[in-house]
Structure 1
Amino acid sequence: MQTSSGIHPHSRLEDAQGVLFGSVMAAFGAMLLGSAGLITGQLAGLALLVAQATGYGFGPVYLVLSLPFYGFGYRRMGLGFLRRTVAAVLLMVATSMLLPQLVAFDALHPGAAAVLAGFVSGAGLLALFRHRTSLGGIGAVALDLQDRLGLKAGWVQMGFDAVLFAAALAVLPLDRVLWSALGAAVLNLVIAINHRRDRYIV
């Protein structure tokens, strides 16, 4: 189908494969981090930190933590976005619970886990973004605060991550926090370089 503006939107099948790919890659990235005792930024990082501190699985923890944020996504992006986001989160959670039964690591250097997770998760998030989907979380709140209070969304997210990594120091060894910061930097770099609306039209 072609719109009046000449833009070819994704078909439902293309959206479905994009959401599936992005969700599975995000789950695999979280598995890499969790297997190496690392975290990342945003809500996924908080879920990993809670999971490591309590022994609960990453997937269920993420699902519970993400519930309060869906209202922000619906208010900003509408029902279609909310449906795709809920589907993506459920797929990621289910995959994260299945992967440990299918994949295991005999050796996993935390530096390798950090960089590979940044690449894998970045690719997954790009796929989700390009199919008008997300994994919910802090980003929607940051955008809402920007609209209502004038706070820059980027600064809100950076502030959350700063508090998260500071809290991680009470749970994780310093070297694991530093490796985690490297992974988060790689992930953000992948998104910053590749998520350009002027270069990609959905």
Structure 2
Amino acid sequence: MTFLLETAPADRHAPREDVQGLVVGTLLVALSVQFLQASQLITGQIAGLSLLTAYWGGWSFGAVFFVLNLPFYTVAIYRMGWRFTLKTFAAVGALTLWTSLLPQVMQLSDLHPGAAAVLAGVTAGIGLLVLFRHGATLGGVGIVAVWLQDTRGIKAGWVQLGFDACVFTLAIFLFSPATVGWSLLGAIVTNVVIATNHRRDRYIAT
């Protein structure tokens, strides 16, 4: 059974619309990563785990993010279908590209961590909403969260926030309390945006 985020079969986006949605959604999330990295903050989900790993090992966020997402594609194929999986794979690849390119064309400085957290939370939340609307996620926990919302009615935002609690528990051992606190604020903003705006009665599984 394939689960698609759409209001009805007649409302399915055309391929060109999906491409636009994937580009816009991943660009917004890539921008959120720039806000976070400008203030040495982290986020939740697999992106947060990737940032932790990148900070710890000195590796590229995009490369770590891509690798950590690979095991979740098996879940996506069997639970969400090939259409969803291929879109998600494309979104992860696009985000990997944008996070490598953006630092070369823009540099953020003198950014208060509170501002960085809120801006990152809002841009990431909106970016993920765009991806959800076009039948994709950024892999990882997002795959499980969307599946649970579409099949069990459990809000995706709350599922992701639960995983975020685990990520921030690990962050306590690597970052100062202030950094973890501001980062947690950003993650809360992201998930509140998703939980408030991603409605199962509007975007249902068919």
Q: How would you bin the TM-score normalised by the shorter chain?
A: 0.7 to 0.9
- Partner Cα distance (1:141, 1:194) in 2: 18
Moved more, 137-146 or 73-82: 137-146
Match of 2:50 in 1: 47
- What are the ranges of 5 or more consecutive residues in structure 1 without an aligned counterpart? none
Match of 2:188 in 1: 185
* Matched ranges for 1:2-151 at <5 A: 7-141=10-144
What is the Cα deviation at residue 8 of structure 1?
Answer: 2.4
Match of 2:167 in 1: 164
What is the Cα deviation at residue 168 of structure 1?
Answer: 0.4
User: Normalising by the residue count of structure 1, what TM-score does the alignment of the two structures yield?
Assistant: 0.87
Q: CA RMSD in A?
A: 2.5
- What are the ranges of 5 or more consecutive residues in structure 2 without an aligned counterpart? 1-7
The structure number with the bigger radius of gyration is 1
Amino acid of the structure 2 residue aligned with 1:187: T
Amino acid of the structure 2 residue aligned with 1:53: W
Question: Among the aligned pairs, what percent are the same residue?
Answer: 49
- The answer on whether the counterparts of 1:22 and 1:127 sit within 8 Å (CA) in structure 2 is yes
- The answer on whether the counterparts of 1:7 and 1:201 sit within 8 Å (CA) in structure 2 is no
User: Normalising by the residue count of structure 2, what TM-score does the alignment of the two structures yield?
Assistant: 0.85
Higher RCO (CA 8 Å, separation ≥ 6 residues): 2
> Aligned pair count?
194
- Partner Cα distance (1:77, 1:136) in 2: 12
> What is the CA deviation profile of residues 32-81 of structure 1, one whole-angstrom value per residue up to 9, with x for unaligned ones?
11221111111111011111111112111101111111111111111111
